[in-house]
A and B are shown apart, each in its own frame.
Chain A
């Protein structure tokens, strides 16, 4: 069964550095999402992406964050200048349409900011 893949599985970065988290969504999917989950807390929506542009973003997704779909397969999340509070699991998800179809999640990237 096709799945969403994310790399790296674990990223350790110094505060203030830039990080890029990578995702390969399921190939025929059109809608893409990033979520994060701080340890012990709920899964939180960050941003959605459709037709090569952001559809919606949450308050968490400030100017330090950006997303890109540089080619037909990858979907990336960039954090320009990381802060300690950015430490979390970051999940990518995709779906082929909004109506009555679930999102399929990757296994996440654990981001640790030192």
Chain B
């Protein structure tokens, strides 16, 4: 069955450092991969989407890489700030390969950025 693993449940870093979050998957060939941010009691907020034929995507301080051979995505937040503290979710999507385009989520990594 499909399995998505995100690195350690919690990640603590110092303000200004780069946070690197990992998403590994098995038994799945996603058309694309999404990263979301979730704050307590709120819904997931879309951050970045990367397609299977893309290696890297950037948006401001965010960078995501996608290696379909390793079945892994890395999500980087550079120059991290306390406001970046949240849970980050990786979600795989079959796109048009699946009828529904449903997303399958990992457990999430909770990032805490300390001042």
A residues lining the B interface (CB < 8 Å):
4, 31, 33, 41-45, 48, 50, 55-56, 89, 91, 95, 98-108, 110
Contacts A/B (CB < 8 Å), 21 sampled: A33-B102, A42-B105, A48-B101, A50-B100, A56-B100, A56-B102, A89-B41, A91-B44, A95-B101, A98-B101, A99-B31, A99-B95, A100-B51, A103-B46, A105-B36, A105-B44, A105-B45, A105-B46, A107-B41, A108-B42, A108-B43
B103/A103 in contact, CB under 8 A? yes
The 6 A-B pairs with the shortest beta carbon distances in the complex, nearest first, are: A98-B101, A48-B100, A56-B100, A105-B43, A55-B100, A43-B105
B residues lining the A interface (CB < 8 Å):
31-32, 34, 36, 41-46, 49, 51, 89, 91, 95-96, 98-108
A45/B42 in contact, CB under 8 A? no
Q: Which A residues are CB-close (under 8 A) to B43?
A: 4, 91, 105-108
Q: Which A residues are CB-close (under 8 A) to B101?
A: 31, 48, 95, 98, 103
The number of A-B residue pairs with CB atoms under 8 Å apart is 69
Knowing A43-B44, A100-B95, A107-B42 touch, does A48 contact B51 (C-beta < 8 A)?
no
Instruction: With CB as the reference atom, state the residue of chain A lying closest to B105.
Output: A43
Known: A42-B106, A100-B31. 8 other contacts (CB 8 A): A31-B100, A44-B105, A48-B100, A55-B99, A100-B51, A105-B43, A105-B46, A107-B42
Q: Which B residues are CB-close (under 8 A) to A31?
A: 100-101
Instruction: With CB as the reference atom, state the residue of chain B lying closest to A49.
Output: B100
A102/B34 in contact, CB under 8 A? yes
Instruction: With CB as the reference atom, state the residue of chain B lying closest to A10.
Output: B41
Question: Please, how many angstroms separate the alpha-carbon atoms of A98 and B96 in the complex?
Answer: 6
Question: Please, how many angstroms separate the alpha-carbon atoms of A107 and B40 in the complex?
Answer: 10
Question: Please, how many angstroms separate the alpha-carbon atoms of A42 and B4 in the complex?
Answer: 11
Q: Which A residues are CB-close (under 8 A) to B106?
A: 42
Instruction: With CB as the reference atom, state the residue of chain A lying closest to B108.
Output: A42
Quote the shortest CB–CB distance from A4 to chain B (angstroms). 8
